[in-house]
Amino acid sequence: MSIEIRGVSKNFGDFRALADIDLTIPTGDLTALLGPSGGGKSTLLRIIAGLETADTGTVAIAGTDATGIPARKRDVGFVFQHYAAFRHLTVAQNIAFGLTIRRQSKQAIAARVEEMLELVHLQQFADRLPAQLSGGQRQRMALARALAIRPRVLLLDEPFGALDAKVRRELREWLRRLHDEVHVTTVFVTHDQEEALDVAHRLVVVNQGRIEQIGSPDELYDEPANAFVMGFLGPVTMLGGRLIRPHDIGLSVHPTNRPGEQGGWVKRINRVGFDVQVEVEVDQDEAPTLVTLTRREAVEKGLNSVHRVWIHPIPGAVLAPWHRQPRPVAHPQPTRRSRHSAEPMTSITSMV
């Protein structure tokens, strides 16, 4: 069931939380709304759900205008970060809740609850109370409860936000597989770029009430629309006045005359897991350029004993123009730039 959002704006007093949002979410897709805190992701999700009303614009679900329809009649399943389970009801009763209030027959409810317990792998926990579950199990119960009513749309607001990193990763994987099974149109809010890139088919980057870019994980990573998107998706650094990813920089201990090459001094070498991060000072008035190498590359180049190096963008590197900030930093907190004013990204092939 596709979701069509047209011209949606929302103000809270003088504060503009959403500014003229247009977005189509295709049927059966798993879409992530990704962006920094306060950017408007939850507000947009709540407007889709009918839990919040837009000041202007429309929301259509499956081709029907849902703008004036109350949340309970929109046929959406909703899961929040902190799932409010009924503490005195068992897992099975919690999952059955939406079906019970819809006055389905006892037999139909029992069959659906069984199906849902199986789907979320909680069969053996059916008779437990929510307090007797782990955080990850509770969120799976929340998903089962949301899905039990056969919603047309599933909306998830940071559903794994309160869980530890390992459980989050497991649930991410699980959610992807679950979506492959049930194919319900799903919108997932997260501020975690790794989570979004890992789980979603499509990402919508939301910042300061606007959409910065929409695309597949590959499109966003390889062709970010602007410096904000590029900086939000992972570490970036500066080379030759442009924003570049640290692993898109090649390093040699002799000059090689490659396009865009710059000489510099090694200031620091840090081992980060399997990678080695090298800080290279090209210009002493600027923050050092970060270069990420594998440990093997660092050893082969004998980096521990050299100080003078030459660095260059590798072929195919993604480079963004960068309007000079007072002091560029290795991991900038990018300022918002409108989609329209953003300069196009250039690849190294077109730069040289």
The site for ligand ATP (CB under 6 A) is made up of 12, 17, 35, 37-43, 191
CB of 53 to ligand ATP, least distance (A): 11
Q: What is the rounded CA–CA span in Å between residue 101 and residue 108?
A: 13
CB of 162 to ligand ATP, least distance (A): 13
Q: What is the rounded CA–CA span in Å between residue 138 and residue 157?
A: 15
Cα Rg of the chain (Å, integer): 24
Measured from the CB atom, the residue of 17 and 59 that comes closer to ligand ATP is 17
Taking Cα atoms as reference points, which of 300, 290, 272 lies closest to residue 329?
290
Measured from the CB atom, the residue of 139 and 277 that comes closer to ligand ATP is 139
Q: What is the rounded CA–CA span in Å between residue 213 and residue 226?
A: 9
CB of 190 to ligand ATP, least distance (A): 8
CB of 12 to ligand ATP, least distance (A): 3
CB of 178 to ligand ATP, least distance (A): 23
Q: What is the rounded CA–CA span in Å between residue 172 and residue 99?
A: 27
Containing H/E element for 271?
strand 262-272
Residue by residue, DSSP assigns 134-189 as -HHHHHHHHHHHHHHT--SEEEEESTTTTS-HHHHHHHHHHHHHHHHHH--EEEEE
CB of 233 to ligand ATP, least distance (A): 16
Taking Cα atoms as reference points, which of 203, 191, 224, 228 lies closest to residue 338?
228
Alpha helices (H) along the chain: 41-49, 91-101, 106-119, 135-148, 165-182, 193-199, 217-222, 227-233, 295-300, 348-351
Measured from the CB atom, the residue of 21 and 249 that comes closer to ligand ATP is 21
CB of 321 to ligand ATP, least distance (A): 27
Measured from the CB atom, the residue of 42 and 94 that comes closer to ligand ATP is 42
Please enumerate in sequence order all residues whose Cβ is within 8 A of that of 256, keeping only pairs 6 or more positions apart, or say none: 310, 312
Measured from the CB atom, the residue of 45 and 276 that comes closer to ligand ATP is 45
Measured from the CB atom, the residue of 31 and 237 that comes closer to ligand ATP is 31
Measured from the CB atom, the residue of 158 and 279 that comes closer to ligand ATP is 158
Question: Cα dist. 134→128, 131, 188, 260, 263 in Å?
Answer: 11, 8, 22, 53, 54
CB of 15 to ligand ATP, least distance (A): 6
Measured from the CB atom, the residue of 38 and 215 that comes closer to ligand ATP is 38
